């Protein structure tokens, strides 16, 4: 297993520790929130590193193509689901994000069955960055940042819906050919 794939596996392995730290004592223990923040930051950094290393050293594998985006989705969605439990996010917000991920994954699966590879669009990459910043802001949960956090939640929702619409429009021929 190459280094980028090991970093992806590490990201997946960090998720339960991130969730446990974030939810410890119903999220009331700020020290554990800091632990969750560090774990999330390390996981987010592995996302950046694995892609850079894979591209730079031509270490792109089928495992990495499948697991890297899946690891990102599970990491972010795990955090967002925790924030519903902690009453920091509405379930509707999280449902929109998760539904988008399932829809895009379905489109990619259909495209793959038709021999088409759908590369990540810039809006999807930006959405992921905004999601990760939003998760960080929600972990920190400082009253002084509540306006910034709310702006990022709205921005996250906008980019989630926008990138979904962009994927559907750009790939409607793939979607229509699957009928």
pLDDT, tens digit, 9 for 90 and up, residues 83-139: 999 999 999 999 999 999 999 988 888 887 777 777 778 999 899 999 999 999 999
| Burial grade of 23 (CB within 10 A; 0-12, 13-18, 19 or more) | middle
Is residue 14's pLDDT more than 80?
Answer: yes
Helices within the chain (DSSP H only): 3-23, 30-56, 62-85, 91-113, 122-140, 146-170, 172-177
> What is the average pLDDT value for the chain, to the nearest integer?
92
Q: What is the pTM assigned to this prediction?
A: 0.91
Asked whether the beta carbons of 11 and 67 are under 8 A apart, the reply is no
CA separation for the pair 57, 146 (Å, rounded): 41
| Burial grade of 146 (CB within 10 A; 0-12, 13-18, 19 or more) | exposed
What is the structure's pLDDT at 118?
Answer: 76
Is residue 179's pLDDT more than 60?
Answer: no
Q: Which domains does the chain have, with CATH numbers?
A: 3-177 (1.20.120.1760)
What is the structure's pLDDT at 111?
Answer: 82
- Measured at the CA of 57, the angle between CA 53 and CA 63, to 5 degrees, comes to 65
């Amino acid at each position: 297993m190459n280094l980028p794939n090991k970093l992806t596996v590490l990201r997946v392995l960090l998720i339960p520790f991130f969730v446990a730290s974030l939810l410890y004592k119903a999220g009331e223990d700020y020290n554990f929130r800091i632990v969750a923040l560090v774990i999330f930051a390390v996981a987010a950094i592995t996302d950046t590193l694995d892609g850079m290393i894979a591209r730079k050293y031509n270490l792109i594998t089928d495992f990495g193509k499948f697991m890297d985006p899946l690891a990102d989705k599970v990491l972010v969605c795990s955090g967002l689901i925790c924030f519903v439990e902690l009453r920091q996010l509405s379930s509707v917000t999280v449902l929109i994000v998760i539904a988008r991920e399932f829809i895009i994954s379905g489109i990619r699966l259909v495209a793959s069955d038709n021999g088409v590879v759908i590369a990540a669009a810039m809006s999807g990459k930006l959405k992921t960055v905004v999601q990760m910043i939003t998760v960080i802001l929600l972990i920190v949960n400082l009253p002084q940042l509540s306006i910034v956090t709310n702006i990022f939640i709205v921005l996250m929702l906008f980019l989630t819906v926008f990138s979904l619409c962009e994927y559907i429009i750009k790939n409607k021929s793939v979607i229509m050919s699957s009928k």
